[in-house]
């Protein structure tokens, strides 16, 4: 079966970024992460970055119109041979409906939506231990890699830091926001027959391989 466009869904800390990295490396995917695009806009201090920063630091969602414009612009550049992997988008029903409309206009097949399921306790543990490389975006974790703030990135040597929205207060807020705004998307995609669920608490490699098989249609949905 043919490779499919994929949307990775799941709460913060479910491993969307880590598994997206695996799929990008092992399959031909164009990875589109709204979180990464927004962090880049903040780092550049662009107009979008200035508008998004406060929401991001508080663990709130950036307003739909800003994020939708960002994604729509990139989607229109997609080659029909190219497969996309969306991570962190859509996050609200309005975003999902707009995405559906954009894909219909572009005459693309419905993407496979993979929902990563994980308990709140494990989310808090992972997010509190997450460390990022500012230079290459590699995601590390204190619990898994034994690397902490100020240590060197294993990929490029950059100095690891903790995302401002991985502080305890923002983590709590992000989980509430997820329940309120993003959890309804699961029902939206279930009704459209696009959803498949994966246990994200298995080992990282096992989850990544399962996702790759689903994306290639080698595992029944």
Which residues form the interface with ligand AMP (CB under 6 A)?
12, 34-35, 38, 55-56, 59-62, 67, 88-89, 91, 95, 165, 174
Does the annotation count 16 as an active-site position? Answer: yes
Question: Using an 8 Å Cβ cutoff, are 128 and 166 in contact?
Answer: yes
> Crossing angle, helix 168-177 and helix 47-58, to 10 degrees?
100
Q: What is the closest distance, in whole angstroms, from the C-beta atom of residue 192 to ligand AMP in the complex?
A: 18
Does the annotation count 174 as an active-site position? Answer: yes
Question: Using an 8 Å Cβ cutoff, are 221 and 190 in contact?
Answer: no
Does the annotation count 108 as an active-site position? Answer: no
What would you measure as the largest C-alpha separation in the chain, in angstroms? 47
Q: What is the closest distance, in whole angstroms, from the C-beta atom of residue 70 to ligand AMP in the complex?
A: 9
C-beta of 24 vs 219, nearer to ligand AMP: 24
Selected catalytic residue, list 4, 16, 126, 131:
16
- Tell me whether strands 83-87 and 29-33 are parallel, antiparallel or unpaired: parallel
C-beta of 17 vs 208, nearer to ligand AMP: 17
Selected catalytic residue, list 4, 39, 91, 131:
91
Question: Using an 8 Å Cβ cutoff, are 32 and 74 in contact?
Answer: yes
C-beta of 182 vs 208, nearer to ligand AMP: 182
Selected catalytic residue, list 24, 108, 163, 219:
163
Does the annotation count 163 as an active-site position? Answer: yes
**123-to-7, 163, 197 alpha-carbon distances in Å:** 20, 15, 17
Residues noted as catalytic: 16, 91, 130, 163, 174
């Amino acid at each position: 079966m043919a490779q499919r466009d994929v949307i990775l869904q799941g709460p913060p800390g479910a491993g969307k970024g880590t598994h997206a990295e695996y799929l990008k490396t092992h399959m031909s995917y164009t990875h589109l992460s709204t979180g990464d695009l927004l962090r880049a806009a903040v780092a550049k201090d662009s107009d979008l970055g200035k508008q998004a920063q406060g929401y991001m630091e508080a663990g709130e969602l950036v307003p739909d119109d800003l994020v939708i414009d960002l994604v729509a612009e990139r989607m229109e550049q997609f080659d029909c041979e190219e497969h996309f992997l969306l991570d962190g988008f859509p996050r609200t029903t309005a975003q999902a409906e707009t995405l559906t409309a954009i894909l219909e206009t572009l005459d693309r097949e419905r993407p496979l939506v993979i929902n990563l399921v994980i308990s709140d306790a494990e989310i808090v543990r992972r997010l509190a231990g997450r460390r990022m490389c500012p230079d290459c975006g590699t995601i590390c974790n204190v619990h898994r890699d034994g690397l902490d703030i100020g240590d060197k990135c294993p990929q490029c040597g950059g100095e690891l830091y903790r995302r401002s929205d991985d502080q305890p207060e923002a983590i709590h807020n992000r989980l509430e926001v997820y329940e309120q705004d993003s959890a309804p998307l699961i029902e939206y995609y279930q009704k459209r027959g696009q959803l498949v669920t994966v246990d994200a608490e298995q080992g990282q490699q096992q989850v990544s391989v399962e996702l790759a098989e689903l994306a290639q249609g080698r595992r029944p949905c």
